[in-house]
A and B are shown apart, each in its own frame.
Chain A
Amino acid sequence: MTWICEETEARLSDYLDGLLEPAEQAAFDHHVNGCARCAPLVASVSHVLGTLRRLEPVEPSPRLVNSILTATQGPQTWRNAKRWLRGLQSPRFVYSAVSVAATIALLLTATGFNWRRPKLADLAPATIYRNADSWVHVVYARSTKFVSDLRVVYEIQSRINETDQNPALREDTIPQSSPKKEPGHTENSNPSSPKQQNRADEFGRNLRVLACEFPTLSGALVDRRVP
């Protein structure tokens, strides 16, 4: 492969960057070694390239980063404030804030604060104390009543269980007539007397009344027992 001086200049960077084909590389070397014009050119450009690649980075002024940040995002204090505000948007903070707000709202509601017509007087300590005291008494009274109701329901349930254990008291207990018996004859068994049937009817009526009195607590019970 022949190589001329113009090619050396045109392909010099390819040669220096190692991009020549082996045949081209050999022709290039062969030409440069014997050419008084190309040899100094290759040597000087190689030297420049080596120098450029050894140049160390120049350190910018330490203030430069801060100047850039100030120019783009404002002064340091403003940047800090924005960062702090951004921190408030974190889920953990929002969850905590909502919990605190909900607690305060609950406490205010419990102390009788009127949300529809808020008044500053409702937030006075004396008012809060009075409302809280009243609220505590109401809660206590309701709790007492609830316990009392529970007791009644328990008693009803106990009586029903008692009735279950004693079939003679059940309303739907009808004596089965034996096929061997003849009409008008008895065999040591007492057919349900009118007195017993009246008692069962009375018990059913009582259950209905109680079901009306305690629909929530005794609902299931009555559904099961009262037709």
Chain B
Amino acid sequence: MEQDAQLVQQCLQGDGSAWEELVRRHTRRIFNICYRFTGNRTEAEDLTQDVFLRVYRTLASYRSAHGGFATWMTSVTRNLLIDHYRRTKRDRVTDSLDDAMPVVENKESVARRPDEQALVGELSGQVQSALTRLSPELREAVILRDLQQLEYIEIQRVLAVPEGTVKSRINRGRIELARILHQMGVRPS
């Protein structure tokens, strides 16, 4: 976090390599939030780029006293995702399992046996599909808590809602997700 704050300071002084370092450090995380929210790689990459553009333009408004840079970036991402959700609401077609994009897992998955890998890939696709069926409020709460492993206090800052609301949304999101997966035929083994 301190390193992020230092890099931000260097960026504000016009150091291009500091900005490059910040982009490299956060691209994967921001992309994953966008991907889990939209369920679409192309949209996720476009949104990730938009997030960094906005961060680049508003970098001077960042204050380390108000929380870590990562939390601030997550707030920007969340706002853009909600904007994107509202903008594309009309055009959005009904979600379908067939729409789920193929997922490129990281290196760790390579070590798995092929049958395990296929199973994990299938489950990952199903969970991703179920996530996109959640309402945006519940979806963002579940993504931040269970996929990004953020603390409640950080989620509070990102969503700008009270702790009780955060807990309630996470709880409802998990139950709703379990219900959707149950409907999709995914049951605990």
Q: Assess whether B146 is in contact with A56, with CB atoms less than 8 Å apart.
A: no
Chain B proximity mask over A23-47: 1 for CB below 8 Å, otherwise 0: 0000000000000000001011111
Q: Which stretch in B24-32, B65-73, B81-89, B92-100 binds the other chain?
A: B24-32
Assuming A44-B182, A58-B35, A72-B52, is B16 touching A12 (CB within 8 A)?
no
A57 touching B32, Cβ below 8 Å? yes
Interface string of A2-39 (1 = CB under 8 A from B): 00000001111110100000000000000000000000
B79 → chain A, closest Cβ, in Å?
Answer: 18
Whether B165 sits at the interface, judged by CB under 8 Å, is no
Q: Are B53 and A52 in contact (CB under 8 A)?
A: no
User: Is residue B127 within 8 Å, beta carbon to beta carbon, of the partner chain?
Assistant: yes
Residues of A with C-beta under 8 A to B105: 56, 58-59
| A64 and B48 form a contact (CB under 8 A) | yes
Given A44-B187, A46-B188, A72-B56: A51 and B49 interface contact (C-beta under 8 Å): no
> Which residue of chain A has the shortest Cβ distance to B130 in the bound complex?
A48
Bound CA–CA A41/B188 (angstroms): 11
Q: Do A43 and B188 touch (CB < 8 A)?
A: yes
Report whether A69 and B23 are in contact in the complex, using a CB–CB cutoff of 8 Å. yes
Chain B interface, number of residues (Cβ within 8 angstroms): 50
Binary contact readout B161-189 vs A (1 if CB under 8 angstroms, 0 otherwise): 00000010011001101110110000111
B115 within 8 A of A: no
For residue A49, CB closer than 8 A to chain B, the reply is yes
* Contact, CB under 8 Å: B175 / A60: no
**Please, how many angstroms separate the alpha-carbon atoms of A55 and B28 in the complex?**
14
Residues on the A chain within 8 Å of B177, using CB: 48, 52
Cα distance A69–B104 in the bound complex, in angstroms: 23
Partner of B175, one of A45, A51, A69: A45
Residue of A nearest to B124 (CB): A55
Q: At the interface, yes or no: A79 with Cβ under 8 Å from chain B?
A: yes
Q: Quick check: is A199 within 8 A (CB to CB) of the other chain?
A: no
The reply to whether the CB of A178 lies closer than 8 angstroms to some CB of chain B is no
Q: Which residue of B lies closest to A14 (CB)?
A: B167
Residue B64, interface by CB 8 Å: no
User: Is B17 touching A56 in the complex (CB atoms < 8 A)?
Assistant: no
Interface string of B39-66 (1 = CB under 8 A from A): 0010011001100110010000000000
Given contacts A52-B127, A59-B106, contact A44 B181 (CB under 8 A): yes
Partner of B45 from the list A14, A49, A60 (CB cut-off 8 Å) is A60
Q: Point out the residues of chain B lying under 8 angstroms from A196, CB to CB.
A: none
Q: Identify which of residues 73-112 in chain A touch chain B, using a CB-to-CB cut-off of 8 Å.
A: 73, 79, 82-83, 86
The answer on a CB contact under 8 Å between B167 and A44 is no
With both beta carbons as reference points, the residue of chain B lying nearest to A47 in the complex is identified as: B188
| Chain B residue, CB-CB nearest to A54 | B120
Flag if B27 contacts A68 (CB, 8 Å): yes
Report Cα–Cα, A52/B17, bound state, in Å: 35
- With a cutoff of 8 Å between Cβ atoms, the chain B residues found around residue A65 in the complex are 23-24, 27
Measured between beta carbons, the chain A residues less than 8 angstroms from B167 are 13-14
- Docked pose: A58 CA to B28 CA in angstroms: 8
A120 CB–B CB distance under 8 Å? no
Q: How far is the CA of A11 from the CA of B168 in the complex (A)?
A: 9
B residues at A contact (CB < 8 Å)? 14-17, 19-20, 23-24, 27-29, 31-32, 35-36, 41, 44-45, 48-49, 52-53, 56, 103-106, 108-109, 120, 123-124, 127, 142, 146-147, 149, 167, 170-171, 174-175, 177-179, 181-182, 187-189
Report 12 cross-chain contacts, Cβ distance below 8 Å, ordered by A residue.
A13-B167, A13-B171, A44-B188, A47-B188, A48-B181, A53-B149, A55-B147, A59-B106, A60-B27, A68-B48, A71-B53, A83-B17
Residues in A lying within 8 Å of B, measured CB to CB = 9-14, 16, 41, 43-49, 51-61, 64-65, 67-69, 71-73, 79, 82-83, 86
Which 10 residue pairs are nearest across A and B when measured between Cβ atoms?
Answer: A47-B188, A13-B171, A60-B31, A52-B146, A44-B178, A72-B56, A48-B178, A68-B52, A45-B178, A56-B105
